[in-house]
Copies of this chain bind each other. A is one copy, B any other.
Amino acid sequence: MGEFELIRQYFQPLAAKARTGQLVLGPGDDCAIQRVPPGRDLVFSVDTLVEGVHFPLDYSSSHLGWRALAVATSDLAAMGAEPVCFTLALTLPAADPLWLSGFAEGLARASEAFDIALAGGDTTRGPLTISLQVHGTVATDRAIRRSGARPGDLICVSGPLGSAGAALDYLEDPEPDSVRQAVLRRYHFPEPRLALGQLLAGKASAAIDISDGLLADLQHILDASAVGADLDAGTIPMMPELQQLQGGQALSLALTAGDDYELCVAIAPDVLAELAPEARAALTVIGRIRKAPGVHLAGANLAEVRPGFDHFGRVV
């Protein structure tokens, strides 16, 4: 049995998790086959994680397994889609059983938590690189795009921001205290807002998941919708632990640090008022879409916040 067969054995259990009949054919043939139910569209997104760029050298492979699938699946949440399956393109320097079993274990937990089955993949030798493509479905014409924000829409986020960004400072801490552990969990185990996204499908005007920082990602909505935003700094949700650890820097992190994978949503006030109670409870209003381009932030000095995240050139 070659290295390849061994690797497949680690991932085979993830393919068995397809609870729906939508994954007609999983790994092992030239292609996988997915049956999209009538009245629904396929939505899909690919995310690549490179060692030393998107996660630290020697990062726990089990954490990485969870994180990689969570990060990718978060794009389905932002579209309001229901997860179905994913592919894994894994480039590895060597077939290290310890690393592989940890990675497969983290991936399996995430696969179960998000109800998304492994459909196929490719394993190659090279520098550690993980590309995950996630597939979901959404009712025809109900996917939430970035381009639908309209003046008067409320801007909401789905949870506290900045913690995962703060966690980067504590990744090397061998024995983090409970306060640091709280923000570290936000980095290691992001939870895509799938249930919320599905409740927002066909209702929110626009949505994006916050991977690169609130200001950077909100700007993608503003650009795509040709609008601007008024934000109120005092309403940006943050974990108490973040404020305890970072003091005056907490707001800056909440505005510009990535990796939280909460949703940023634009939604008309009357539509928000009629959402299911659990969706309303999950959203915090932080501002309003306006006609004039640009972002005005009440209660803080935008010039003092750190610049937005850019994948290309980022060093963990």
Contacts and interface: CB of A to CB of B under 8 A. Distances in A.
A136 B31 CA distance: 10
Top 6 A-B residue pairs of the complex, sorted by shortest distance between their CB atoms: A50-B126, A30-B78, A89-B131, A127-B127, A31-B43, A31-B45
Given A3-B312, A30-B45, A133-B133, 8 more contacts: A4-B310, A30-B207, A31-B79, A31-B143, A32-B44, A35-B41, A36-B42, A89-B89
A275 interface: no
A279 interface: no
B30 A79 contact: yes
A31 B121 CA distance: 19
Interface stretch (A21-29, A182-190, A232-240, A298-306): A21-29
A291 interface: no
A162 to B, nearest CB: 21
A52 B312 CA distance: 23
Interface in A12-70: 24-25, 28-36, 38, 41-54
A24 B41 contact: yes
Contact of A32 (B3, B45, B121): B45
Given A25-B143, A46-B121, A81 B31 contact: yes
Nearest to A125: B312
Contact of A133 (B79, B87, B145, B311): B87
A224 B41 CA distance: 32
A33 B143 CA distance: 8
Contacts of A81: 31
Contacts of A146: 28-30
Nearest to A54: B124
A29 B145 contact: yes
A171 interface: no
Nearest to A24: B41
A91 interface: yes
